[in-house]
Amino acid sequence: MGNERKLGYAYADLHVGMSFRSPGRTITDADLVAFAGLTGDYSELHTSEVYAKNSQFGRRVAHGMLGLAYAHGLMWARTGELRETAIAFLGITDWKFVGPIFVGDTVFVNYRIAELRDSKSRPTQAIATFEVELVNQDGKVVQRGRKALLVSKVPLTAVEASKAPSMSQDA
């Protein structure tokens, strides 16, 4: 079981070159409908079989921003790998939409720490920059870019506070 994913990496565990792979998420018709409703983006490429069938893609395509949103959710929030250190998402750079995501595709996120540097203003914090690829079930990159995350070098009180209290032994 040496290949088991560790949860809750401490800052001391992190290093440049460290890589991760998220669990997969299959894109459903309900995802497209819900995302269109949430964002108001009812483009026919996402919502009309007739339109999409006659487009260059030949079928409906997921919203690019839906892919980006899932890429984010599949990383730290879903895996729990950085639960002990993650403070805040800082931003995205160089994000590219390089291929379509179709209903029925299963997407995964491959990400690695490209840079890890101390915060200039907060000595107990650092900035981890990740190179990120959103890939489909065939391993084809559909989106890629860099994401920055503010991380803590010390244990987060929020993590401790969110742990279930032990049951009291009332007599």
Question: Model's pTM, two decimal places?
Answer: 0.86
The answer to whether 109 touches 78, Cβ cutoff 8 Å, is: no
The answer to whether 36 touches 63, Cβ cutoff 8 Å, is: yes
Q: What angle (nearest 5°) sits at the alpha carbon of residue 78, between those of residues 108 and 26?
A: 40
Digitized pLDDT (tens) for each residue of the chain, 171 residues in all? 344 556 678 899 999 999 999 999 999 999 999 999 999 999 999 999 999 999 999 999 999 999 999 999 999 777 778 888 889 999 999 999 999 999 999 999 999 999 999 999 999 999 999 999 999 999 999 999 999 999 999 987 777 777 767 666 555
CA dihedral 75, 93, 62, 25 (to 10 degrees): -10
